Structure 1
Amino acid sequence: MIEIFNAVSNIAVDIEKDIFNGLSDEFFDVKIEDDELHSKIYTKCTQIIETELEKVRSVKGALSKDKKQMCTINPNGKYIVAYVSIDNVELLDVDYSLGTIFCVYENEISPKNIKASAYITYGPTFQMVFATQSEGVKFFSYEDSQFVQKESFRLSSSGKINSTGGDIAAWTSEHKDLMQSFFDSGYRLRFSDSLVLDTHQILFKRGGIYSNPATKNDPNGTMELVFECYPISFIVELAGGMAIDGKYRILDIESLNVHHKSPFYFGSTNEIQKVKLVFGA
């Protein structure tokens, strides 16, 4: 797993350098439409990720949220790496940090086979979280041209952050009442629309709740199990929190395919217990 950690570290440095520090030189010399710019960024990040993973003999293959097609790397390897190359690239326009998400599965894609999970935050906050069952959640900050390990995250039983997404006009009455109850209890709204950043904030602040609910428009939710829900749930649980779809533990739900979407709630245990009460778990 150390080889995968090193690959993720190298990927982080290359994307930070080539995309966030080199973006204006490489992509903004001529005016192009946003969709074309975003496509170029996704392509560049995918190239960086696959180039690094090709160096890891234990990685059998990789697939991205964007393409969802397995790229065979080393046929004799045992790990499959699913990743989000850039989490919500549209936020580049407003100078937000963005992130990359990785989930490492052994032999086949299943929450029971997760061996490691990681995410990276770029831009103003260049940091990395890498989690394994044996080592727990490790937090690294990039300082003096290297990642330096810092104090690991541990969620408190309650927090004060309420990070909720989805189309508000399409919220169900249950979710709307639940969110209002948190606000009435003094919770602060902190939502960036980047799963990486919203996760990082809850971990960094040691508690709170994130929600991307089922809505009237998206009754099955919008977050993808294989690429988003599984890796973040793995990290959150190792940090002492909980992650559910409203009723059931995310890591107990087997994906039907790589397109499988789900409502997503995670955070401190007290907040998630309140979610369970509302949705009858």
Structure 2
Amino acid sequence: MFPTLDAALEADAATRPDLVALIRELAEAAVLIADRLAEVSGDDLGEATEAINGGGDVQKALDVLADHVFRDAAKAAGVAFFGSEEEDEAAVLNAGGDLALAVDPLDGSSNIDTNVSVGTIFSVLPVEDAHRADPKSAFLQAGRHQLAGGFFVYGPQLLLVANFGGVTQVFGFSPSEEEWLALPVRLALPAEAKEFAVNASNFRHWDERFRAYYGDLLAGQDGPRGRNFNMRWVASMVADAYRILLRGGVYLYPGDARKGYAQGRLRLIYEANPVALCVEGAGGEATDGLRRILDIVPGDLHQRTPLVFGSSDEVEAVSQALGSASSAPGATTLASA
């Protein structure tokens, strides 16, 4: 294991110089955001603004700040096109660059006021000649084409979970050394899950098949699964994802019958694809309930998707459950057809 992020980047022969520069700039930007979060001041960073982001959600003050910080980092690294969950359209930063950066600047921002871990999720895609005339097209590639992807976690420790060479690694920032150090953790998801993460308050909106699957989990050793499960739900995907990468489990965010939730709530480009890349790099799987996330070709910058990721056996159990019965009248499916 390489001792630092810089050493890991430099040692990976497949890592391009422009990608190395970008990851370094993103890491510096994350330190700025972490410092801003840790500073006790009169600023209410969790206060909602009057603005609505590109995905239709109300922006918090720190959403806007983080968007600007990571946009500046992308520009400094020579990134050609910048796409953000907080912005309507893709922006041209350096027309001659060969990378496109998609970013959710502050995942879980609804948790800022309660001091729960939040994060930044990023995806790096190649820019080909065919994309030059239309920046948006650079982002409408299947996730399997990502050159790198990952997320920062702003919690008790500032962490970077990233896949930039086919393997998912974890780095922590040491304030005393002012350096990103490799953490001595082995990310290898067990095939069998013992925990699941889901917002159970949406039960009444779920598809009949997903309700049945959830009921089997709750039944534990007395039900058809024959064993007990624990439930964990942070409502900050980066926190849930890191826990699952460390000790296994499954994350479940289905589409449901509420207005605007039929195709799920998470963004394919900004959230699902980079997390899926990290999960697969640790031996797990990620789907929309039926299809591999990294095989889905986006049709829009802010396309939403259901998301299931984690231990492979449990992800596959969800797919089997969805194919085992017909949907209840009026209920939405977990994944689009």
TM-score in terms of structure 2 length: 0.77
| Mapping 1:1-281, distance limit 5 Å | 1-18=19-36, 20-22=37-39, 24-25=40-41, 27-28=43-44, 34-36=47-49, 39-57=60-78, 59-107=79-127, 108-109=138-139, 110=141, 111-132=143-164, 134-143=165-174, 144=176, 145-150=178-183, 151-165=185-199, 167-183=202-218, 184=220, 185-205=227-247, 207-217=248-258, 218-280=261-323
User: How far apart in 2 are the matches of 1:5 and 1:233?
Assistant: 18
Q: Once the 2 structures are TM-superposed, how far is the Cα of residue 135 of structure 1 from its aligned partner?
A: 4.7
Asked whether the equivalents of residues 137 and 152 of structure 1 are also in contact (C-alpha less than 8 Å), the reply is no
Asked whether the equivalents of residues 98 and 197 of structure 1 are also in contact (C-alpha less than 8 Å), the reply is yes
Structure 1 residues 3-37: Cα deviation after superposition (integer angstroms, max 9, x where no partner): 1221121011110012x112x32614xxx993139
Q: Once the 2 structures are TM-superposed, how far is the Cα of residue 247 of structure 1 from its aligned partner?
A: 0.9
User: How far apart in 2 are the matches of 1:192 and 1:13?
Assistant: 23
- Consecutive unaligned residues of structure 1, counting only runs of 5 or more, are none
Q: Report the residue type matching 1:35 in the other structure.
A: A
Asked whether the equivalents of residues 46 and 61 of structure 2 are also in contact (C-alpha less than 8 Å), the reply is no
- SS state at 2:321 partner: helix
Q: Which has the larger radius of gyration?
A: 2
- Consecutive unaligned residues of structure 2, counting only runs of 5 or more, are 1-18, 51-58, 128-137, 221-226, 325-337
User: How far apart in 1 are the matches of 2:93 and 2:109?
Assistant: 26
Instruction: Report 1 or 2 for greater relative contact order, CA contacts < 8 Å, sequence distance ≥ 6.
Output: 2
Q: Report the residue type matching 2:304 in the other structure.
A: K
User: How far apart in 2 are the matches of 1:164 and 1:55?
Assistant: 38
User: Cα distance 1:275–1:135, how it changes in 2: closer, same or farther (>3 A)?
Assistant: closer
User: How far apart in 1 are the matches of 2:298 and 2:88?
Assistant: 14
- SS state at 1:85 partner: strand
CA RMSD of aligned residues (A): 1.9
- SS state at 1:16 partner: helix
Q: Report the residue type matching 2:209 in the other structure.
A: E
TM-score in terms of structure 1 length: 0.91
Q: Report the residue type matching 1:265 in the other structure.
A: V
Q: Once the 2 structures are TM-superposed, how far is the Cα of residue 125 of structure 1 from its aligned partner?
A: 3.1
Asked whether the equivalents of residues 137 and 238 of structure 1 are also in contact (C-alpha less than 8 Å), the reply is yes
User: How far apart in 1 are the matches of 2:250 and 2:214?
Assistant: 10
The alignment covers a number of residue pairs equal to 273
Structure 1 residues 145-182: Cα deviation after superposition (integer angstroms, max 9, x where no partner): 32110234111111211001372221222112212222
Asked whether the equivalents of residues 22 and 73 of structure 2 are also in contact (C-alpha less than 8 Å), the reply is no
Q: Report the residue type matching 1:188 in the other structure.
A: N
User: How far apart in 1 are the matches of 2:46 and 2:125?
Assistant: 36
Asked whether the equivalents of residues 126 and 146 of structure 2 are also in contact (C-alpha less than 8 Å), the reply is yes
Q: Report the residue type matching 1:242 in the other structure.
A: E
- SS state at 1:25 partner: coil
Post-superposition, which runs of at least 4 consecutive aligned residues in structure 1 deviate over 6 A? Answer: none
Asked whether the equivalents of residues 236 and 242 of structure 1 are also in contact (C-alpha less than 8 Å), the reply is yes
User: How far apart in 1 are the matches of 2:83 and 2:60?
Assistant: 17
Q: Once the 2 structures are TM-superposed, how far is the Cα of residue 226 of structure 1 from its aligned partner?
A: 0.8
Identity of aligned residues (%): 22
